[in-house]
Amino acid sequence: MKKFFYLFILLSLLIPQVYADQTDLPRGPLGKPDLNGVWQVLNSANYNLEAHSASAALAMIEGPVVPIPHPSVVRLGAVGSVPAGLGVVEGGTIPYKKWALKQRDNNKKNWLDNDPEIKCYLPGVPRATYMHLPFQIFHSEKAIFFAYEYAGAVRNIYLEDPGPAPVDSWMGQSWGYWEGDTFVIEASGFNGQTWLDRSGNFHSEELKVTERYTLMNPYTMNYEATIVDEKVFTRPWKISMTLYKRVGKDAQLQQFKCVEFVEELLYGQWRGN
């Protein structure tokens, strides 16, 4: 009986703490969860949204594609490798149409040459969220603004539906609203030129993304994105992952204006001999 009594006492002490961790969220403007801060993923989704093993990079070497390091990566050794990942796609597999799956596979074979990230183009949504660099959320009563370290990308989140985007763009147009303690963002108006990861997963200009940001505790946030593109996919599909809040002196964005690193890729064709 004493063992059961002590077990009961232990559980009675633990349960309130777990309950407090789930409900005692930091509150910000309008009494909603405070999303302010610098956030970052700790996964390999930017390499491949689907589950994947560790591997060398793929490259086109004078003919058929073979799984060997890209010539520019050979000198980097393990630094140029692809880390393994459990995948973030609900159900495990992205539901491509047949023609689109062939396009994805072709993209993957040539990603070191064709991935828009290689040339420092803006990453689009949802990819900006799970790149290896952090992003910052600025949250007030009248505005929510996202700033990304990669390429200085930004998103101004409208708090009322502005209607269709006046022009398609790399980062699209976003507007958000609260569903209880979850902040929901509807994003559309993309130019269809961004990829979803380094494995060639892609979309068209018809892409629509619904993001859900749910603060779990002061230091972690659950992120979900439902992806709809009737031109490329057979049905809507969803990804989910955890975002981690950075703390300490390094909880700030640094400069990563990567155009200066890829000048030859962008402008080399116009360079005089």
Structural domain includes residue 131: yes
Segment 82-91 shows an average pLDDT of 95
pLDDT of 19: 38
Give yes or no for a cis peptide into 126 (omega within 30° of 0).
Answer: yes
Q: Is the per-residue pLDDT at 180 higher than 50?
A: yes
Residue 15's pLDDT band, with cuts at 50, 70 and 90, is very low
If one counts the domains in the chain, the total is 1
Q: Is residue 130 part of a domain?
A: yes
Indicate whether 123 belongs to any domain: yes
Contacts of 117 (CB under 8 A, 6+ apart): 123, 131, 195, 198
In this prediction, residues 74-80 reach a mean pLDDT of 65
Please name the residue that has the structure tokens 């990669």. Answer: 150
Check: CB of residue 221 under 8 Å from CB of residue 242.
Answer: yes
Phi, psi of 261 (to 5 degrees): -90, -15
Q: Dump the DSSP string for 97-119.
A: -HHHHHHHHHHHHTHHHH-GGGG
Residue 258's pLDDT band (cuts 50, 70, 90): confident
Q: Can you give the pLDDT at residue 64?
A: 46
Domain containing 216: what range? 33-51+86-267
In a domain? residue 62: no
- CA 148 to CA 166: how far, in whole Å? 23
Q: What CATH number is given to the structural domain containing 155?
A: 2.40.128.20
Weakest-pLDDT range from 68-82, 124-138, 172-186: 68-82
The backbone region for 200, taken as left when phi is positive above 0, alpha when psi lies in -120 to 50, beta otherwise, is left
| Each residue's pLDDT tens digit, 203-228 | 999 999 999 999 999 999 999 999 99
Is 222 among the domain residues?
A: yes
More confidently predicted of 97 and 250: 97
Write down the mean pLDDT value for the chain: 87
Within-domain flag for 156 = yes
What pLDDT, on a 0 to 100 scale, did the predictor assign at position 3? Answer: 53
Residue 66 confidence (pLDDT): 47
Query: What pLDDT is stored for residue 73 in this prediction?
Result: 52
- Tell me which residue of 178, 185, 130 sits closest to 157, measured CA to CA: 185
Task: Report the percent of the chain where pLDDT is more than 90.
Answer: 68
In a domain, 61, yes or no: no
Residue 198 lies in a domain: yes
Give the 3-state secondary structure of residue 220: strand
